[in-house]
Structure 1
Amino acid sequence: MAEGQCNCGSIKVKIPKQPDQSVLCYCDNCRRSCGSAMSVNYVFERSDIDIDDPKDVLKGYADSNTKSGNTITRRFCGNCGSPVMTEVPTGTQVFLKGGLFFPLGKPIAEAFQENKSEWLSPLKMGGGK
């Protein structure tokens, strides 16, 4: 079992094990919601994630400004603003934000590379640490 948390510690997230692989997303909305050049994500079945939110601060934003046209829900801590996960309207998988955990898993895939900042070096893809 691995555990991560938001900045203020109000939300704790437990997953079966610390992933050693991640997926980077460069879409405009992920970049804005994470305040960074990209979002680091772990793909999990929703049923494998245990979210402890005793203060009931987990909030959601329905993001309909997506390239797919689907409305996704971006979950974040209402106290500190840390992104927690992105839920898609179909399927059972969610994109859990890697920044909740340490260490980050090595990227094995990139999404929306056409939005990647030119100053970012090409990644050497591959699994493992």
Structure 2
Amino acid sequence: MPDQPTYTGNPNSHPPSSFSTNLSGTCLCGSILVTIKDDSLFDSPNGRGHLCHCANCRKVAGSYVSSNLAIEKEKVEIWDQKGTLKEYEDWATGSGKCVVRKFCGNCGPIASYAQASPDKVILKMGIFPRIPKPEAESFALHRHDWQGTHEGVAQFEIARGGKKLGE
């Protein structure tokens, strides 16, 4: 009988206090390293993360929702250690403005840069060992009926900061 696999990636094995000044993560193959330099990722009572239900983010995430963090560009460092970082210009957006999607050419999504928010980078949180609690959901109108809700998380019908669901 083959050995049982060793399961990795349990976020509970990484206390939020271990990320008091920064948070680093890699893509699946380890070629791309991303570091967020921010001392309040896990301190905000309302959370800092963002869940997006738009079709494009779902496709990039390969899931029913994308777990993101929109953060100031100057707080993020991305190292392409093996030359695998690629990009795709996504013009099929609700705003009609380009979203440049960066990804590892070997294994998957890393970050997005939206023309609508030129001072921010949108990081795909699945590459990190721990994910900050979400503070908001965008494109909540696109949620599946079977999805649960997250208490205290603002739900915007479409764009974050726009009309809230149920208003």
TM-score (norm 2): 0.71
Corresponding residue to 1:67 among 72, 76, 94? 94
Residues 38 and 75 of structure 2 are in contact (CA less than 8 Å); yes or no, is this contact kept in structure 1?
A: no
Distance in 2 between residues matched to 1:125 and 1:43, nearest whole Å: 18
Is residue 89 from structure 1 mapped to residue 115 from structure 2 by the alignment? Answer: yes
1:76-120 CA-to-partner distances (Å, cap 9, x unmatched) read: 110112x11110125211111111112111111000011111110
Q: Percent identity?
A: 38
Distance in 1 between residues matched to 2:146 and 2:24, nearest whole Å: 33
Q: What is the root-mean-square deviation in Å for CA atoms of aligned residues? A: 1.4
Task: After TM superposition, list the pairs within 5 Å mapping 1:1-129 onto structure 2.
Answer: 1-17=22-38, 19-20=41-42, 21-81=48-108, 83-90=109-116, 91-125=118-152
Structure 1: give runs of 5+ residues left out of the alignment. Answer: none
Higher relative contact order (CA 8 A, sep 6+): 1
SS at match of 2:64: coil
Residues 107 and 125 of structure 1 are in contact (CA less than 8 Å); yes or no, is this contact kept in structure 2?
A: no
SS at match of 1:122: coil
Distance in 1 between residues matched to 2:38 and 2:105, nearest whole Å: 26
AA paired with 2:23? A
Runs (4+) of structure 1 exceeding 4 A deviation are none
Q: How many residues align?
A: 125
Higher strand share: 1
